[in-house]
Structure 1
């Protein structure tokens, strides 16, 4: 009797939910910046350090999680990572309720270690289900859309919960969402993937040390990873401090800053789905589109840096935050399409580490600069960072345009 295999779209639905939950922590938590500022008394530099160190810890852990995913299963790293992160948040909430804010901050940073695991498991699970599928780009566009949507919903809900019931209650709500996501992933990934099934049908041995692994196209994807570091630094540098900037520098209300953060995330979700369609429609233009988004974001940041105290700077920064998140579904599609599924865990470990290096250090550095020299210099440096990311990615535009389609769209097992 044939073994059951995973249902492709069930995997997608569970993956989107799980990614939204983990992104509520990784990107939505900065919406609590004003609450942390008011409740714990942390200044801008300290809050930037708190959010940044969580990213640094993720970067340190994510390569190891990638190797674990290749040696165990996508289901294992997804479920363990989600539940362990929920536990860390529950403990952080306990310390927040007790007024021990330093320990709360320590546990939020530690949660970055386990929070690195689910994204690896989610992408590996989707890669096994969608590699060779005609809607590869759309699937990963939807998955990438879950990142800002999860952050946006968290940006709306967490400040409201914090205002009504306290900071600890907001962290408990986030932990509950992660537990539900762990249950969903355990169910969706309970059967072998379509990729695993195809390998068995061909009679190829699986997970044996003697089996030669297909090569990784490092020459194609390394510049994409370099660009990802710089563009993620720009993206997270804006979003991690956006609410705090609107609240402290532009004198927006707490609720107004939360609504602006949520709007950025929701619009970015739609943007990423549209980029998924575009990635399928024009696969050879994926890197070009990454460069366009990076250049537009850089231009907006440079304008924000010179508009000073004018209110238009807040509007332009909100637009820059939105465009700064549009490239991510394109870069992950380029990577997944080019890398054999058997090597995807290792490669995703490197990719996510690249992103989290940028995500981790950006709010720390920009927070310190803002504290010492003001917001304008911070936005200027982020604009320059985006320009550097575009210059790195540009080197791969021609390579993708002229490459054989088998390199652009990987279908080997």
Structure 2
């Protein structure tokens, strides 16, 4: 049963709900942006991390993936806790602990005075940040599902999902500059301040809606998401669809630097373009699918378009490596294709998460979103770890082509479009 069929609200709650729901959405955006600045922003420092921590490409890929491993291990428990305890305590505990972990990394796991901490210390910090920061997705998504009705959830969830490229874009713009000028102590310190600010906003604005007390009774009659094969298939599809996006976010800068000789300005420009383009695409996608009621068909369209763009990127990289074209022209073409593929591989997020939460029911959305993000962040761990070995064993062109095939692999798992009356 949807929340829209709950008992009528008291007059004061009914008057407060339309205005306050946007504050709740702002909390969700702030929480996800703060964590995304670390999860999606740190890969933009890959070249500096490789140099400052004295890593090879394999160690770099492992380090960048460990934050995702931490989220994958604890995302589902966080989502189940959000369904049981509510969104506010989970977000406050998770964001506060994440800020503390990042502050510890700033003081003890950052290179200083020419000495680089061991890979083990860096790995421990990143896993810990992932474990604690995994609280933000399920709790904030559940809050959005509780405060917004069906006809506007796609837009609301897509706005919330813009926090991922918003935070990633902010991280891509700020963190490489901080890493080059002030070192990784400043990088982790800035991320700690972002998480602390999001926790403060949560304390001020987030609360349960008045009708949420009825939700557990309504949800009790239906099987939980953990026993629903449709939810598992959709969650697995979301995880697969994120792998090509993570390939772009984690190694686009390395690809552009090593393969085409791009400078820091070009690399930063591409990563910021990917994040800002993804923000715009997610909001437009949510609004468009809310109006047309075609979330499932839209997801399939994104899969096919992303496949074509990654195939074009692979072909362009092969042509650039096989011939000797004008260096500036080749670099520009590859940068455009990387940005386009990254944007398209990110545009579907809000629509997919809305469809998943709708399948599970709003009262169980925290668990369902936790299932999806466990799959997503397992991909965030495996993709950066596998990418250097794949490139070393084959080539960059084949690696990008395989990223496109990964998109197609998710098609059988996506919910089929509903027949229109």
Q: Same fold (TM over 0.5)?
A: yes
**Cα distance, 1:314 vs structure 2:** 3.2
Taking a change above 3 Å as real, the CA distance of residues 194 and 139 of structure 1, as seen in their structure-2 partners, is: farther
**Cα distance, 1:303 vs structure 2:** 2.2
From 299, 306, 313, the equivalent of 2:308 is: 299
Q: Which residue of 2 aligns with 1:224?
A: 234
Q: Which runs of 5+ in 2 are unaligned?
A: 1-9, 321-329
8 A Cα contact 2:244 2:403, kept in partner? yes
**Cα distance, 1:350 vs structure 2:** 1.0
Q: Which residue of 1 aligns with 2:299?
A: 290
Matched, 1:148 2:165: yes
From 227, 240, 262, the equivalent of 1:252 is: 262
From 61, 69, 79, the equivalent of 2:82 is: 69
**Cα distance, 1:213 vs structure 2:** 4.0
Alignment of structure 1 residues 72-151 onto 2, 5 Å: 72-94=85-107, 95-98=109-112, 99-102=116-119, 103-130=121-148, 132-151=149-168
Q: Which residue of 2 aligns with 1:202?
A: none
Alignment of structure 1 residues 316-335 onto 2, 5 Å: 316-335=337-356
Q: Distance in 2 between matches of 1:367 and 1:332?
A: 30
RMSD in angstroms over aligned alpha carbons? 2.3
**Cα distance, 1:216 vs structure 2:** 4.8
Q: Which residue of 2 aligns with 1:262?
A: 272
8 A Cα contact 1:11 1:188, kept in partner? yes
**Cα distance, 1:181 vs structure 2:** 0.4
Q: Distance in 2 between matches of 1:211 and 1:275?
A: 29
8 A Cα contact 2:43 2:249, kept in partner? yes
Aligned-partner SS, 1:252: coil
Aligned-partner SS, 2:419: helix
Matched, 1:212 2:225: no
Q: Distance in 2 between matches of 1:323 and 1:261?
A: 14
What are the Cα deviations for residues 277-306 of structure 1, in whole angstroms up to 9, with x where unaligned? 0121122x2111111111111112122223
Q: Which runs of 5+ in 1 are unaligned?
A: 200-205, 404-413
Q: Distance in 1 between matches of 2:357 and 2:311?
A: 33
Deviation larger for 54-63 or 218-227: 218-227
Q: Distance in 1 between matches of 2:91 and 2:419?
A: 35
From 373, 379, 382, the equivalent of 2:403 is: 382
Q: Which residue of 1 aligns with 2:325?
A: none
What are the Cα deviations for residues 238-272 of structure 1, in whole angstroms up to 9, with x where unaligned? 21111221122221112321121011100110000
8 A Cα contact 2:274 2:343, kept in partner? yes
Alignment of structure 1 residues 144-223 onto 2, 5 Å: 144-189=161-206, 191-196=207-212, 199=214, 212-216=220-224, 218-223=228-233
Aligned-partner SS, 2:162: helix
**Cα distance, 1:236 vs structure 2:** 0.9
Q: Distance in 2 between matches of 1:88 and 1:316?
A: 36
Q: Distance in 2 between matches of 1:272 and 1:353?
A: 21
8 A Cα contact 2:66 2:123, kept in partner? no
Tell me the TM-score normalized by structure 2.
0.86
Matched, 1:36 2:49: yes
Deviation larger for 256-265 or 38-47: 38-47
From 384, 389, 400, the equivalent of 1:368 is: 389
**Cα distance, 1:23 vs structure 2:** 0.9
Q: Which residue of 2 aligns with 1:10?
A: 23
Tell me the TM-score normalized by structure 1.
0.88
8 A Cα contact 1:129 1:194, kept in partner? no
**Cα distance, 1:127 vs structure 2:** 1.5
Matched, 1:280 2:297: no
Q: Which runs of 4+ in 1 moved over 6 A?
A: 1-6
**Cα distance, 1:273 vs structure 2:** 0.2
8 A Cα contact 1:66 1:349, kept in partner? yes
From 360, 371, 374, the equivalent of 1:339 is: 360
What are the Cα deviations for residues 372-407 of structure 1, in whole angstroms up to 9, with x where unaligned? 4332222122111111123432xx223x3369xxxx
8 A Cα contact 1:92 1:105, kept in partner? no
**Cα distance, 1:219 vs structure 2:** 4.8
8 A Cα contact 2:37 2:171, kept in partner? yes
Taking a change above 3 Å as real, the CA distance of residues 313 and 124 of structure 1, as seen in their structure-2 partners, is: same
Q: Distance in 2 between matches of 1:402 and 1:357?
A: 35
Q: Distance in 2 between matches of 1:213 and 1:346?
A: 16
What are the Cα deviations for residues 184-221 of structure 1, in whole angstroms up to 9, with x where unaligned? 112111x3314426x3xxxxxx768x983433573543
